[in-house]
Amino acid sequence: MELQIVSRPGGNVATRSTPPESHWQRSVGRAVRDPEELLSLLDLPPGLLPEARRAAELFPLFAPREYIARMRPGDPADPLLRQVLPLRDELVTNPRFSADPVGDAAASCSPGLLRKYRTRALLVTTGVCAVHCRYCFRRHYPYEELPRSLQQWEPALAEIAADPTLDEVILSGGDPLMLTDGRLRELTLRLAAIPQLTRLRIHTRLPVVIPARVCEPLIDWLRGTRLAPILVIHANHAAELDEDVAAALARLADAGVVLLNQSVLLRGVNDDADALTDLSRRLVDLRVMPYYLHQLDRVAGAAHFEVPEARGRELVKQLRRRLPGYAVPRYVREVAGAESKVPV
Ligand code: SF4
């Protein structure tokens, strides 16, 4: 039986042979792609359908059922729904919002390799994700140009090996955990053979949207690498972190993986002090450190999510009053060409 994973336009399309078909792969295969089904599952007005269909033509809807199950039925303003439902607002053009807001094209070296900051290199491992976030800063990324086999990764690996100043590699995407554990283990083995590397960082939304992705083979290769594993998850609202996610994060923490979270400040999702406080508290209780709160990257189609920086600063001030210092994320924005994230 063959399982097909649908990607965004231009993204990789991963197909894998089963059996055995693992639980998380089944979840990806069963994800909701049709706006009509999403509206019907949540008892939402069918009047939303025409605009959802039009916006989904530019960036398809993709939402796993276990993620949808955490949304409130009948509420078009649900903070999880807002992250995945295509809206008319995405069709509005705004000259301040572009296809490449963070300068990925200028930072690109060998195929799949981005160099932005000293000592770290980033591999865009795949264009496939387990959820399509409407505000994604890489929603227009040219994923079709990425390497698709270990052989095609050779130039990037050679460039990393040739630079003694690097000590950390970041696996990003898309979502790197959409690759099979076999592929990830292979790639990690090659990275671990580069002596100057000491850390492996993985940016992923999978433990949040499909917690079953944190399966035994994943834990095995994370435990088995000599590189110190750091997993940066992406949650924007406490309602995303249900008991299944909590169990998945506990498995990772118990395996010695350092867990960090990055959020994006999003209008209508988490732009109030209570939502951000609840998120930080929940993360810390789950042994995940709130790392970054990102100002929205100005990507075309996402202008309606932007929160003014003055409002963001006020929210962070309130968080400082309510939370211990370690639970307050750093409020930053990414500036194309800058040597690090810029504090807001
Ligand atoms: S924000 Fe992350 S998980 Fe969401 S669509 Fe973009 S790359 Fe994929």
137-173 pLDDT, tens digit per residue, is 998 888 988 998 889 999 999 999 999 999 999 999 8
Q: Which atom of ligand 1 is nearest to the CA of 138?
A: 6
Q: How many residues does the chain have?
A: 344
Two structure tokens written together for 28 = 């990806």
Which residue has better confidence, 148 or 66? 66
According to DSSP, the residues that pair with 168 across neighbouring strands are 120, 199
Backbone angles phi, psi at 51, to 5 degrees: -70, -35
CA distance 330 to 316: 9
71-113 pLDDT, tens digit per residue, is 999 999 999 999 999 999 999 999 999 999 989 888 888 999 9
pTM: 0.93
Please spell the DSSP secondary structure of 262-291, one letter per residue. Answer: EEE--TTTT-SHHHHHHHHHHHHHTT-EEE
pLDDT of residue 317: 98
Q: Is the pLDDT of residue 340 over 50?
A: yes
11-23 pLDDT, tens digit per residue, is 433 333 332 458 9
164 alpha carbon – ligand 1 mean position (Å): 31
Find the helix or strand (DSSP H, E) in which 231 lies. strand 228-233
Backbone angles phi, psi at 134, to 5 degrees: -65, -20
pLDDT of residue 57: 96
From 59, 104, 175, 209, mutation site for ligand 1 pocket: most ligand atoms within 8 A of C-beta: 175
Contact yes or no for 127/173 (Cβ under 8 A): yes
From 8, 83, 205, 296, mutation site for ligand 1 pocket: most ligand atoms within 8 A of C-beta: 205
Contact yes or no for 270/237 (Cβ under 8 A): yes
321 alpha carbon – ligand 1 mean position (Å): 31
Q: Is the pLDDT of residue 10 over 50?
A: no
132 alpha carbon – ligand 1 mean position (Å): 6
**Mean pLDDT, range 329-343, rounded to an integer:** 92
Q: Is the dihedral angle over the CA atoms 268, 271, 276, 277 positive or is it negative?
A: negative
pLDDT of residue 339: 85
CA distance 330 to 290: 8
| Ligand 1 proximal residues by C-beta, below 6 Å | 129, 131-133, 136, 138, 173-175, 205, 234
In this prediction, residue 6 has a pLDDT band, given cuts at 50, 70 and 90, of very low
129 alpha carbon – ligand 1 mean position (Å): 6
